[in-house]
């Protein structure tokens, strides 16, 4: 049996935190392949909000000067996994805005690998997670800069909000750079809602539940700013938040 058909184990870094029991009935995964021609632009919004386990695998190739805007919402009521592989040509641009929302005993994960194969490409990744109950939320993201890919600009902004101390957030932003004259950065934070901010809103007449929801809405909205269907994605995220609050 080929590696493609064999269910991964936790020795595979990309599946270290996966719910392998939930993944097994879905395996092997069909890869959705997207290629954007030189100088062209593309976009995709993918929402996992079903009641059954779901896993998606995307492979995106951007030719020279192409651009792609990808928005993800991982907010089903069961196991959800989205894996994305992106290869950027010269002066290509890629933007990822993603949010995952989970409660109960759910496992939600987003795994990305962005490869700057040619010079002067730009990639940005913004991932926001809200986790409650005993949920586990994972982001594993690698930015790889190939030899000769000078002028690369790659960034990752990863933040997770824990609504309960029993929830777990795993985050591993990673840079692998084999070129000089590049600009790459990543930021990662896991925390709780700021009690002072909640108190500030309460002092201005907002009930605690409403104040909490308002802060979470602003937190999640960062992933969808500028999307063509920003309003639809934000509303879907709010509906998912309602289910775990």
pLDDT of residue 209: 80
Full pLDDT tens readout for the chain, 245 residues:
345 679 999 999 999 999 999 999 999 999 999 999 999 999 999 999 999 999 999 999 999 999 999 999 999 999 999 999 999 999 999 999 999 999 999 999 999 999 999 999 999 999 999 999 999 999 999 999 999 999 999 999 999 999 999 999 999 999 999 999 999 999 899 988 878 877 777 777 778 788 888 899 999 999 999 999 999 999 999 999 999 98
Q: Report the pLDDT value the prediction gives residue 1, as an integer from 0 to 100.
A: 33
Burial track 51-68 (b if 16+ CB lie within 10 A, e otherwise): eebbbbbbebbbbebbbb
So what's the pLDDT on residue 189? 92
pLDDT score at 30:
96
Residue 203: the pLDDT is: 76
Residue 226, both tokens? 């500028």
Q: How far apart are CA 85 and CA 151, in angstroms?
A: 21
pLDDT at 192: 87
**β-bridge mates for residue 143, sequence order:** 114, 175
The CA radius of gyration of the chain, in Å to the nearest whole number, is 18
* C-alpha distance across the termini of the chain, in Å: 44
| Spatial separation of the C-alpha atoms in residues 218 and 130, rounded to whole Å | 12
CB neighbours of residue 192 within 10 Å: 11
Give the model's pLDDT for residue 4. 62
Residue 62 CB contacts under 8 Å (≥ 6 apart), including other chains: 36, 68, 86, 87, 88, 89, 92, 93, 94, 121
pTM of this structure: 0.94
Per-residue confidence (pLDDT) for residue 208, from 0 to 100:
79
Q: Can you give the pLDDT at residue 54?
A: 98
pLDDT (0 to 100) of residue 199? 72
Structure tokens at 88: 């950027």
Three-state secondary-structure class, residue 11:
coil
Name the 3-class secondary structure at 90.
Answer: coil
Tell me how far apart the alpha carbons of residues 242 and 76 are, in angstroms, rounded to a whole number: 13
What was the pLDDT predicted at 240? 95
Closest CA to 36 of 65, 56, 71: 65
How far is the C-alpha of 112 from the C-alpha of 82, rounded, in Å? 8
């Amino acid at each position: 049996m080929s590696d493609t058909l064999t269910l991964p184990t936790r020795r595979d870094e990309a599946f270290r935190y996966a719910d392998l029991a939930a993944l097994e009935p879905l395996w092997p995964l069909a890869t959705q392949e997207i290629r954007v021609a030189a100088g062209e632009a593309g976009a995709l919004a993918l929402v996992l909000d079903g009641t059954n386990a779901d896993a998606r695998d995307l492979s995106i190739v951007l030719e020279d000067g192409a651009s792609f805007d990808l928005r993800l919402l991982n907010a089903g009521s069961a196991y959800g996994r989205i894996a994305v592989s992106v290869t950027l040509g010269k002066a290509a641009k890629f933007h990822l805005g993603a949010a995952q929302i989970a409660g109960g005993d759910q496992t939600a994960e987003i795994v990305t690998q962005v490869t700057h194969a040619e010079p002067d490409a730009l990639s940005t990744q913004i991932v926001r997670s809200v986790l409650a109950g005993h949920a586990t939320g994972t982001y594993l993201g690698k930015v790889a800069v190939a030899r000769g890919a000078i002028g690369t600009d790659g960034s990752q902004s990863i933040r997770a909000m824990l609504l309960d101390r029993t929830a777990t957030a795993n985050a591993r932003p990673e840079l692998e750079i084999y070129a000089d004259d590049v600009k790459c950065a990543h930021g990662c934070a896991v925390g709780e809602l700021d009690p002072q901010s909640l108190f500030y809103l309460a002092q201005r007449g907002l009930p605690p539940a409403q104040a909490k929801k308002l802060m979470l809405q602003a937190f999640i909205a960062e992933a969808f700013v500028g999307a063509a269907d920003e309003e639809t994605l934000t509303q879907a995220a709010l509906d998912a938040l309602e289910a775990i609050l």
